[in-house]
Structure 1
Amino acid sequence: MHSFNSDGVQIAYETAGEGPPILLIHGFASTGRVNWWDTGWVRTLTDSGRHVITFDHRGHGASEKLYDSAVYSAAEMAEDARRLLDHLGITEADVMGYSMGARVAAFLTIAHPSRVRRAVFAGLASRMITGVGGAEAIAQALEAPSRQDVTDNSAKAFRIFAEQTKGDLKALAACIRSSREKITPEELAQIRVPVLVVAGDKDEVAGDVKTLVNAIPGAKGVTLANRNHMNAVGDRGYKEAVLAFLG
């Protein structure tokens, strides 16, 4: 695991393989390892001849933990991604994000279009526009003395996942309170790079694929049958769709 200074915040990252670069951006309460290595994504992409870069968001994994929600905007986390590309001397890369990572990838694509060759937004579709909701309930679940004190089942699921990934619960609570920024259709309409949108048909967090596809010029969409927010990430159909999209 390596790290670099992203405007005063230490960000941990890993790389693998050789070839055209692809930057992978993980979801909330996950890590680069959990989201991309443990699901076989890094192996799939390196086997296809790609240089893969993963990193841990601020407040996650091996990156620096911060406890002020003001520093966790998706736009600022997109700047962490851009600074990582700068650090590695990569001028342009394909970018794929899952869930919160898809939102961050979208902010990166809108703010720095010359740095993104192609983008995959997965695990977050129409709710990138309409909003996901429930952030405060999740934050309170993370801050509760124990998971047994959490009565909201949806929020409890995030608490359980955060404990499984050995997350810093206080830092994650600060993150969730400000990272779910909506992106307007007008902002998405600015995107000119090829985009693939992927989500499971049972993914209530992501919303429907078609709405987001229609908001982005030329975007394509794939809906994964019988997949929800948690089991779509390692899905074979998801991987096949991305490999075909990347060419």
Structure 2
Amino acid sequence: MLHGLFSSAQMNWIRFGHAARLQDAGFEAIMPDLRAHGQSAAPHDPASYPCDVLVRDVRAVVDAVGLGDFDLVGFSLGARTAARAVVSGLAPRKLVLAGMGLEGLAGWEGRAAFFIDAIDRFAEVKQGDPAYMAVQFMKTMKIDRVAARLLLESVDDTSQEDLAAITMPTLVLCGDKDRDNGSPQDLARVLPNGRFEEIPGTHMGSVTEPDLGVAIAAYLAG
């Protein structure tokens, strides 16, 4: 299970009970903190952030744990990472892309620019600024902005043609008020075996809703 940008496994999956719901459904949840997030290292050396470093990290975890038959779940940046991991050759049984739309994968450059701008203007962003919520969340999570900026620059774009490699059953799960990463319906349509499901909430708010964990557990167990 891969958490979202500026978040952590504790915030994304544990705090609001989603991991517990999966455990109750018979699953074991492996929830790494992504590089530059949570309890993971946040180096300032640009060499620590090669292209698609998060995909490399996910594959390293899969290999280290010795996973064979497994499912892969991601929210926002975690969903983007999960999709790119599959494009690179990872083969989970089922995939869940939560808080994600087509433009969040195929138009990553613009999305990254928004957050890089928030980091660069961190001290001057006031209420009413489009970047205000992102800055407040960075403050809450005590994000290392130097490391986060380097990480954002390492994430590669994903074309619609790349998405043809995602052939396993895939749930595109998104809040009814969340279109931060574009259209989840369009993403589900272009995936070879995609299905769209809507839950209550905004992009950040949907994580606090029990429906997120309920929907993930039901899909993986089905």
Question: TM-score scaled by structure 1?
Answer: 0.80
Cα distance change on mapping 1:88 and 1:205 into 2, 3 Å = same
Aligned to 1:121: 97
Q: Cα offset for 1:223? A: 1.9
Q: Which has the higher helix share?
A: 2
Q: Which runs of 5+ in 1 are unaligned?
A: 1-23
Aligned to 1:190: 165
Aligned to 1:212: 187
Aligned to 1:242: 216
Aligned to 1:164: 140
Q: Which has the higher strand share?
A: 1
Q: Aligned partners of 1:113 and 1:207: how far apart in 2? A: 25
Please tell me whether residue 96 in structure 1 is matched to residue 70 in structure 2: no
Higher relative contact order (CA 8 A, sep 6+): 2
Q: Which of these residues, 49, 53, 57, is aligned with residue 80 of structure 1? A: 57
Cα distance change on mapping 1:89 and 1:167 into 2, 3 Å = same
Contact 1:96/1:119, CA 8 A, preserved across alignment: yes
Q: Cα offset for 1:215? A: 1.1
Cα distance change on mapping 1:50 and 1:203 into 2, 3 Å = same
Q: Which runs of 5+ in 2 are unaligned?
A: none
Q: Which of these residues, 34, 37, 60, is aligned with residue 57 of structure 1? A: 34
Q: Identity of paired residues, percent?
A: 29
Aligned to 1:202: 177
| Runs of 4+, deviation exceeding 6 Å | none
Contact 1:27/1:101, CA 8 A, preserved across alignment: yes
Name the SS of the counterpart of 1:77 in structure 2.
helix
Q: Cα offset for 1:231? A: 0.8
Contact 1:41/1:239, CA 8 A, preserved across alignment: yes
Q: Aligned partners of 2:181 and 2:198: how far apart in 1? A: 11
Aligned length: 219
Cα distance change on mapping 1:79 and 1:214 into 2, 3 Å = same
Aligned to 1:34: 11
Contact 2:170/2:195, CA 8 A, preserved across alignment: yes
Q: What is the RMSD computed on CA atoms of the aligned residues?
A: 2.2
For each residue in 1:25-80, what CA deviation from the matched residue of structure 2 results, as whole angstroms up to 9, or x when unmatched? 01111111111111211111111111110111111111111235675467320121
